[in-house]
């Protein structure tokens, strides 16, 4: 059954065009389109075929169910596309992956490396792995000065080192000094391993922000997530205009009320009208994925005008001040939460910046909580 009160649309054409543009930026490097967390809430099962058709070399995932969705799409291309796990795996995940999913695993500890080595030897196969070097992200991986441990990993049987990687901590920030330091430390470690790893191994450091902002000539693979969906993780830089947002979120006005001056609106009475006002009630709230933290901060497009969210965002209702909209606003009129209306635009990044979050938090809620239509 369709949800009439909210419309979440994802453009396959924009997704494909974004991937094509990124491929042109990074050539001759290979491209990994990151599709973890249900393709950042955009729908993994629906968009993975588009990513494959657009020519991605890898798809980045985190969980075995994500890998299973891709392998079960039915096409030979989906069965054979390279999958790269973008976090550390649990032993149970590795057991299943080795048997049936053919995921290229990242390893960042001797313990995990030996576990995969033993699994490969036991099954008579070489498990493809990417060595994760921690140059400053601080979440996982070998430190860049653990050269002896890294040499030990390179000599283990049952694994095939196909990649060496790191992950940037602040490539979307105002300053890039720390990113350049991470690159320097990464390639020092790579050079120290030159006699232990095949020269053709895939080196990869760049995420979306770095791919847009930082020279990529030393990488043989880039891992791009946010940019493929036409969004960015920070207001401190701009994507190329060719990268267009893939998702839009719209609803319709459930009621328009004349509210006298001095009246409070919403739970906690966090907003008081300072004039006689027109208030539109929208049939969406944090239950549909519109962040509760946007109370008295959010913006909604109505009749092509930017209208402020007023009062607490409720579970299923959000209230918007439409007093300054010059055209008549009526029950059932369109309200754009994310997207374009007339000459105005609201992006996930703009909303996320208002409550010091990232676009992904809103994307995921919109994608998981509501039906998505693909256009």
Q: Show the tokens assigned to 176.
A: 């890039």
pLDDT level of residue 353 (50, 70, 90 thresholds): confident
Please tell me the total number of residues recorded for the chain in this structure.
375
Whether 260 has a pLDDT exceeding 60, the answer reads yes
pLDDT, tens digit (0-9, with 9 covering 90-100), for 181-227: 999 999 999 999 999 999 899 999 999 999 999 988 889 999 999 99
Domain ranges of the chain: 12-229, 247-346
Burial tier of 73 (Cβ tally within 10 Å: 0-12, 13-18, 19+)? middle
Concerning whether 196 is annotated as a catalytic residue, the answer is: no
The secondary structure of residue 100, as a DSSP letter, is: I
Whether 323 has a pLDDT exceeding 80, the answer reads yes
**Residue of 36, 115, 229, 303 with catalytic role:** 36
pLDDT level of residue 238 (50, 70, 90 thresholds): confident
pLDDT at residue 357, as a whole number: 79
State whether the Cα torsion 108-109-114-119 is positive or negative.
Answer: negative
**Residue of 79, 122, 181, 267 with catalytic role:** 267
Fold entry, domain 247-346: Lyase, Ornithine Decarboxylase; Chain A, domain 1 (2.40.37)
Concerning whether 79 is annotated as a catalytic residue, the answer is: no
pLDDT at residue 243, as a whole number: 95
pTM comes to 0.92
Match 């020519």 to its residue by tokens.
Answer: 55
**Is 247-346 the same fold as 12-229?**
no
pLDDT at residue 1, as a whole number: 60
- Distances in whole angstroms, Cα of residue 56 to Cα of each of 27, 52, 311: 12, 6, 44
Closest CA to 23 of 187, 243, 334: 243
213 by DSSP, 3-state: which? Answer: helix
Instruction: Report which secondary-structure segment, H or E, holds 112.
Output: helix 110-123
Whether 364 has a pLDDT exceeding 70, the answer reads no
For the 12-229 domain, the top CATH level (class) is alpha beta
């Amino acid at each position: 059954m369709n949800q009439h009160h909210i419309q979440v649309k994802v453009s396959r054409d924009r997704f494909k065009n974004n991937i094509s543009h990124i491929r042109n930026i990074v050539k001759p490097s290979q491209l990994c389109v990151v599709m973890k967390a249900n393709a950042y809430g955009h729908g993994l099962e629906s968009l993975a075929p588009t990513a494959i058709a657009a020519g991605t070399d890898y798809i980045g995932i985190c969980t075995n169910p994500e890998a299973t969705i891709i392998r079960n799409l039915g096409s030979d291309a989906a069965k054979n596309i390279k999958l790269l796990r973008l976090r550390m795996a649990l032993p149970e995940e590795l057991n299943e992956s080795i048997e049936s999913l053919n995921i290229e695993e990242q390893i960042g500890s001797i313990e995990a490396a030996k576990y995969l080595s033993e699994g490969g030897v036991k099954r008579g196969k070489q498990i493809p792995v990417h060595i994760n070097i921690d140059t400053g992200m601080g979440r996982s991986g070998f430190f860049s000065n653990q050269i002896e441990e890294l040499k030990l990993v390179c000599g283990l049987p049952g694994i095939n080192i196909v990649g060496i990687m790191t992950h940037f901590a602040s490539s979307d920030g105002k300053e890039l000094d720390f990113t350049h330091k991470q690159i320097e430390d990464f390639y020092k470690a790579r050079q120290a391993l030159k006699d232990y790893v095949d020269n053709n191994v895939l080196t990869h450091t760049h995420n979306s922000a770095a791919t847009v902002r930082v020279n990529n000539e030393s990488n043989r693979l880039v891992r791009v997530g946010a940019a493929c969906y036409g969004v960015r993780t920070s207001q401190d830089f701009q994507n190329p205009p060719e990268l267009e947002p893939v998702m839009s979120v719209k609803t319709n006005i459930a009621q328009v009320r004349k509210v006298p001056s001095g009246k409070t609106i919403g739970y906690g009475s966090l907003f008081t009208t300072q004039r006689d006002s027109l208030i539109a009630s929208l049939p969406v709230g944090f239950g549909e994925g519109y962040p509760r933290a946007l109370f008295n901060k959010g913006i909604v497009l109505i009749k092509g005008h930017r209208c402020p969210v007023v009062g607490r965002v409720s579970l299923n209702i959000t209230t918007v001040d439409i007093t300054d909209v010059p055209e008549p606003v009526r029950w059932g009129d369109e309200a754009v939460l994310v997207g374009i209306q007339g000459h105005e635009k609201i992006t996930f990044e703009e909303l996320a910046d208002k409550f010091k979050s990232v676009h992904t938090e809103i994307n995921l809620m919109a994608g998981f909580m509501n039906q998505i239509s693909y256009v």
